[in-house]
Amino acid sequence: MPATVLVLVETINDYLPILEHQGFHLILAPTPAERAEAISRHSGQIDAVLTRGPLGLYADEIAALPNLKIICVIGAGYEHVDLQAAADRNITVTNGAGVNASSVADHAMAMLLSLVRDVPRCDAAVRRGEWPKIMRPSLAGKRLGILGLGAVGMAIAKRAANGFDMTVSYHNRQHRSDVPYSFCSTPTELARASDFLIVATPGGLTTKHLINRHVLEALGSKGFLVNIARASVIVTTDLVNALEQRRIAGAALDVFDSEPHVPDTLKALTNVILTPHVAGLSPEATQGTVELVGRNLVAFFSNQPVLTPIALPPAMSSVAG
């Protein structure tokens, strides 16, 4: 009997035949109401769940799925998947780290270019029949700081260094000896050494609010910030204050605390570019992501090791013992 996969992701429908051709039975539930109904109606049938970081899978939902064996997360982030609940049930969790790195890096550089060169304002002026001579900084030869040098951070670094002759620095949990970029021991040190700061680190408790007012002050009034990671990495009120008071030059944001809601204070600012969490979305990235999910599912249900496992915490039963 084919395994049944509950699909919570709303952006991959065109590529779901990849999974169907591999023999999986899919239940689509992209809205909160459909999600709750599917879990209630099909609880005993669901063997796997396909989700993404912001959508997650919560402890009560895991408890309601007695036959759940594997959770597949598209993209790198899995911040709203309850790993403890999965560990307590010995449920495997996988992610899609690295598959959409090129798409995210492209978007990060596009946002940086648009922000620094003020492309939206230039476009709007021409559409109004104006012809202003707006003078803005160049990217070439500048200092780029990257918070999080994983697959996405590396893709950004290569574009910046090779395409724009930028000097690249980074902050990571650990220094990397395999890269030619300068390591900074704290986010504040990284900001101080940067003209532009791009946030590319995963979300979750370990990175929550790494970017606060002290980091923004270190970036300075001529510095620009881009976030294509998770909104939780930045203290939003500190960012809004810094933008309003021009203590940083501008910000480009693809992620927000309560998506799809975007604070009116951000939308009112003229030194901000906003996009609707689309950095990782491209036909190439989406197809690659679903193909990886398929390989992980096939491996798991064939009793083979999955390709991209997430390390889980110890099960509470083993800790208690």
The pLDDT profile of the chain, 321 residues, written as one tens digit per residue, is 689 999 999 999 999 999 999 999 999 999 999 999 999 999 999 999 999 998 999 999 999 999 999 999 998 889 999 999 999 999 999 999 899 999 999 999 999 999 999 999 999 999 999 999 999 999 999 999 999 999 999 999 999 999 999 999 999 999 999 999 999 999 999 999 999 999 999 888 899 999 999 999 999 999 999 999 999 999 999 999 999 999 999 999 999 999 999 999 999 999 999 999 999 999 999 999 999 999 999 999 999 999 999 999 999 865 555
For residue 248, the cross-strand partners are none
N-terminal to C-terminal alpha carbon distance within the chain? 36
Distance from C-alpha of 172 to C-alpha of 201, rounded to nearest angstrom: 8
Q: For residue 319, what pLDDT is reported? A: 52
Q: Using DSSP, how many helices (H) and how many strands (E) does the chain show?
A: 14, 12
**pTM, full prediction:** 0.92
pLDDT at 268: 98
Range 59-64 contact pairs with CB under 8 angstroms and sequence separation of 24 or more: 59/84, 59/85, 62/86, 62/89, 62/91, 64/39, 64/40
Do 71 and 293 form a contact (C-beta atoms < 8 A)?
no
- Alpha helix locations (H) across 77-136? 83-88, 101-116, 119-127
Phi/psi at 182 (5° precision): -80, 135
Q: Reply yes or no: is the peptide bond before residue 260 cis, omega within 30 of 0.
A: yes
Instruction: From the candidates 89, 230, 246, 261, give the one annotated as an active-site residue.
Output: 230
CA-CA distance, 194 to 198, in Å (whole number)? 10
Beta-carbon contacts of residue 115 (< 8 Å; ≥ 6 apart): 224, 226, 250, 251, 252, 273
Number of residues that this document lists for the chain: 321
Beta bridge partners of 58: none
Give the 3-state secondary structure percentages of the chain, helix then strand then coil, rounded to 5.
40, 15, 45
- Residue in 277, 284, 291, 295 annotated catalytic: 277
The active-site residue, picked from 10, 37, 259, 284, is 259
pLDDT in the model for residue 75: 86
Domains and CATH numbers, the chain: 4-99+283-320 (3.40.50.720), 101-274 (3.40.50.720)
Tokens linked to 15: 């590529």
CB 198 within 8 A of CB 146: yes
Element (H, E) at 227: strand 224-227
- C-alpha neighbours within 13 Å on the C-beta side of residue 17: 1
Per-residue pLDDT reduced to its tens digit, 16-49: 999 999 999 999 999 999 999 999 999 999 999 9
Strand order in the sheet with 167-171: 182-183, 167-171, 143-147, 196-199, 224-227, 250-253, 272-274
Query: Which residues contact residue 230 at a Cβ distance below 8 angstroms, ignoring those fewer than 6 apart?
Result: 53, 77, 79, 201, 202, 203, 204, 207, 255
Is 209 designated active site?
Answer: no
**CB neighbours of residue 42 within 10 Å:** 14
Residue pair 77/101 in contact by the 8 Å Cβ criterion: no
The one-character DSSP state at 275 is -
pLDDT at 233: 98
Q: Is 277 a catalytic residue?
A: yes
Distance CA 103, CA 40 (A): 36
